[in-house]
Every structure is written in structure tokens, then in C-alpha cells.
Amino acid sequence: HPRVFSGVQPTGNLHLGNYLGAIKNFVALQESHECIYCVVDMHAITVWQEPNELARQIREVTAAFVAAGIDPEKHVVFNQSQVSAHAELAWIFNCVARIGWMNRMTQFKDKAGKDRENASLGLLAYPSLMAADILAYKATHVPVGEDQKQHLELTRDIAQKFNNDFAESIAAKGFGEAYFPLTEPLISGPATRIMSLRDGTKKMSKSDPSDNSRINLTDDADTIAQKIRRAKTDPEPLSTELEGLKARPEADNLVGIYAALAGLSKEAVIAEWGGQQFSAFKPALAELAVDRLAPIAGEMRRLMADPGHIDALLGAGAARAAAIATPVLDGVKDVVGFVRSR
Ligand code: AQP
């Protein structure tokens, strides 16, 4: 049956891209699917994290989930490191996946930079842990932003190779033809790739050194308005047709953000705003952004005032997650041929 899994790294500066590309869709899927949402702290440490800051960020992402409208009672919300099945299954997948597959990942190339020899081994193996996150729950659908498409393809490759390599054992142990499903990415909405406000060719990112490049979920109304006012644009008025935005990445980005926040298509936004100047469009966009984000920021602040409550919520979620993942992992151990005697 359909089951959704997705994760967000607690690496600081949760931004509008994370919200529109991921979290907002997480909220919507709760109506129709069983959902498991994870704060992927083990992914975060593939690059150095200051320990106190990491703990704070884990709670902040959890607060963002809940503040945005994820219901931790009806669905499962937890942090990855509290469920050991992720690490255990990732090790088995490390032995299924090939080094060449990992070397081809654009996120690894971007994050490792020029000094690849000096990147952590975890950064290289990142997609293998991601496959474990998803497949420990036999998740069928994963809502993500456009940037994660390649990793989702790798998850399918790992699932397929596991199913093939162990086909005989899978059948012999009574699991039928395939142990793991081939998971589908859900990359939906008018803003699957939000770009930097300073450079329409770069994605909005937590790690961009310029704070003006992104709208943080914790920014106050004045900051949001100021960042949008200063957002890079060209001097032309807004195009009257979608085609006209193709060669104007900054304009295209702002129209996409407006559409996603308003719950409209980009066509509808163009129909309303085409031909108008950015001096009119930007204040309307700022107002819309503040209207949608301020309540989330306020609720995050309220939740962050009680870290004990957040920790309890994560602990309860982890117990429920483990109850799903442990039998899946046990089946994998049987299929692989590990002896389980307790
Ligand atoms: N710019 C974006 N537009 C749309 N979706 C985005 N996502 C991230 N950036 C954008 C989606 O947010 C989810 C969580 O992402 P993550 O926790 O893996 O964070 P990330 O991709 O590492 O975020 P950054 O901002 O890109 O961090 P750095 O700067 O470290 O590279 C995912 O579903 C992702 O697609």
C-alpha cells in the first residue's frame, strides 16, 4: 500500500526552498497517505557539525515540521539516529551499490569540491544511507525537490540490484519476486527548484554564505520584505507569457515562488501580473510570503521554547518508526543469509 517517506537535514537555515520544495508537500500528502518524516541527523554529519548546534537544529527542523502542519500523532516524525535500522541497512546497501555509482552523483561532486580525497567517506556513501532511509519502510513515494531526483534514481538502482542479486533467496524465504519496491519520487508543484535571490542560476541553499540569497523560515516580516525588495531582477516588466520567462531566471524564480505560495499555477500568476513592473510585483510577493511564513515562524518559536516536548515527540516517533523498520530489516538479514538467533 502507498507509504510516503522523506527527510530534511538539520544543517541550519531552513529556507523557502526547503518549505516549497519539500515540507509544504509533506503536509499535503498527510490527507491521502501514511507518512513518515525524518530529521536526517546522520546525513548531516557527512560534513562537520558543531555538536550543540546540531542538537539545536534537530529540534528546529522538528519544530518546522510541526509548525508547518505535520501531525506527529497521525503520522511518524522522528530523527534518524534513534532508529538503528537506517545504519544497519545502509551498510548492507554499501555492499550492494558500486563505488562508480556514488562517484557520479552531482551532489557529491558539488559538496566534495576540488579536494575529493579529503571528503568524508560518509559524504560519498550518502545516497546509500538515503536508500536505506526509504527502503527500511518499503516506502513507495518520496516527496523531494528537483535536486534530489538523481539520488532517488540511485535508490531504485539499489533496490533493483538487491532484488536481482538475492532473487533466489527472496523467493526461497517466501518474499515473492521482489523484496523492495521501486520507489517513485514526487516532485510536484510550480516550484520544485527555488533559486537563490541573488543569482537565478544557483539553487537557494542553506550553505550559501549570503543570507540575502535565501528567505529563512525564521526570518521576521521586515527581513522577508527587504530580501524580496533587494532580490536580483532584470529591468524589464514581467512577461505576459510563460515562454518569456525562459531566458529570465530571476523573474521566473519570483513568479514560481508567488505561484507556489498562493497555490496557483505560473500561468495564473502571469495572467494576473504580466506586463507589470517588479516595483509593483515585489511588494505583493513580500506580503504573500509574510502572510504564509509568519505563522510558521511564530509557531516554531513557541515550540522551540519547550525542547523537552520536542524530544519526547521525537522519541515516541522513533519507537513507531522502529516498529515498522525492524521487521523489514530482519527480512533483509534472512535474505542475505545472516544468522539471527535472538
Ligand atoms: N532550492 C530548493 N528548491 C526546492 N527544494 C529544495 N530542497 C532543498 N533546496 C531546495 C529540498 O528540501 C528538502 C530537504 O533538503 P536537505 O535537507 O537535503 O537540504 P539540502 O538539499 O542539503 O539543502 P541545501 O539548502 O541545498 O543545503 P546545502 O546548502 O548544504 O546544499 C529536499 O527534498 C530538497 O530537495
26-51 pLDDT per residue, tens: 999 999 999 999 999 999 999 999 99
Q: Give the integer Cα–Cα distance in Å for 325 and 244.
A: 48
Mutate to test the pocket of ligand 1, among 4, 19, 206 (most ligand atoms within 8 A of CB): 206
The residues spanned by each domain of the chain are 3-186+306-336, 211-302
Q: Which of 206, 232, 266, 333 is catalytic?
A: 206
Res. 1: pLDDT tops 90:
no
pLDDT band, residue 160 (cuts 50/70/90): very high
Q: What is the pLDDT of residue 179?
A: 98
DSSP letter, residue 247: T
Closest by CA to 107, choosing from 89, 120, 123, is: 123
Cite the annotated binding site by residue number: 9-11, 17-18, 133, 145-147, 194, 203-207
CATH topology of domain 3-186+306-336: Rossmann fold (3.40.50)
Q: Give the integer Cα–Cα distance in Å for 64 and 304.
A: 10
pLDDT digits (tens, 9 = 90+) for 249-284: 999 999 999 999 999 999 999 999 999 999 999 999
Res. 339: pLDDT tops 90:
yes
Rounded to two decimals, the pTM is 0.96
> Quick one: CA dihedral 22, 28, 29, 35, positive or negative?
positive
- ipTM of predicted assembly, 2 dp: 0.95
SS (H, E, C) 93-143: HHCCCCHHHHHCCHHHHHHHCCCHHHCCHHHHHHHHHHHHHHHCCCCCEEE
pLDDT band, residue 315 (cuts 50/70/90): very high
- Ligand 1 atom nearest the C-alpha of 143 is 33
Mutate to test the pocket of ligand 1, among 26, 65, 79, 205 (most ligand atoms within 8 A of CB): 205
Res. 133: pLDDT tops 90:
yes
Determine whether 282 is an active site residue. Answer: no
Determine whether 24 is an active site residue. Answer: no
Instruction: Give the H/E segment covering residue 5.
Output: strand 3-8
Q: What is the pLDDT of residue 53?
A: 98
Q: What is the pLDDT of residue 342?
A: 85
Is 211-302 in CATH node 1.10.240.10?
A: yes
pLDDT band, residue 196 (cuts 50/70/90): very high
Mean pLDDT for the stretch of residues 193-219: 96
- Ligand 1 atom nearest the C-alpha of 15 is 25
Determine whether 206 is an active site residue. Answer: yes
Length of the chain, please?
A: 342
pLDDT digits (tens, 9 = 90+) for 72-87: 999 999 999 999 999 9
- Ligand 1 atom nearest the C-alpha of 208 is 29
Cite the annotated binding site for L-tryptophan by residue number: 133
What's the mean pLDDT when you consider all of the chain? Answer: 97
Question: CA 211, 215, 220, 226: dihedral to nearest 10 degrees?
Answer: 70
Cite the annotated binding site for ATP by residue number: 9-11, 17-18, 145-147, 194, 203-207
pLDDT band, residue 247 (cuts 50/70/90): very high
- Between 190 and 24, the more confident residue is 24
Mutate to test the pocket of ligand 1, among 18, 80, 195, 211 (most ligand atoms within 8 A of CB): 18
Residues 6+ apart with CB under 8 A from 338: none
Res. 176: pLDDT tops 90:
yes
Residues 6+ apart with CB under 8 A from 280: 273
Contact in structure between 37 and 6 (CB atoms under 8 Å): yes
Q: Give the integer Cα–Cα distance in Å for 212 and 207.
A: 12
Q: Give the integer Cα–Cα distance in Å for 336 and 169.
A: 8
pLDDT band, residue 106 (cuts 50/70/90): very high
Q: How far is CA 149 from CA 42, 90, 152, 184, 295, in A?
A: 20, 19, 5, 10, 30
Res. 89: pLDDT tops 90:
yes
